[in-house]
Amino acid sequence: MKTKPRIRKCSLCHTYTMALEHHNTQTSIAHPPIFKPNDRLSEYRVIVLHGNDNKEKERD
């Protein structure tokens, strides 16, 4: 099964493209992750992305 082409974004010039490389650098996927209100692991993803500082601030 073939996947649909996805819109990608160049990190250097911030243009949107469908190519995997632009300006000889890898492009990233421009779509946001899927939001699920009952996601049990979202707390851990926030820690990985933003560090443990946010979790300590919430406890204070």
- Looking at residue 27, which CATH number applies to its domain? 2.20.28
Q: For 18-42, write each residue's pLDDT tens digit.
A: 888 888 889 988 888 777 888 888 8
Is the pLDDT reported for residue 55 higher than 60? no
Domain count, the chain: 1
Distance CA 12, CA 23 (A): 8
Is the pLDDT reported for residue 59 higher than 70? no
Is the pLDDT reported for residue 57 higher than 60? no
Contact in structure between 12 and 2 (CB atoms under 8 Å) = no
Does some domain include residue 3? no
Q: Which domain holds residue 40?
A: 8-59
Does some domain include residue 36? yes
For the entire predicted model, the pTM comes to 0.50
Does some domain include residue 1? no
Res. 8 pLDDT band, cuts 50 70 90: very high
Does some domain include residue 2? no
Distance CA 53, CA 46 (A): 10
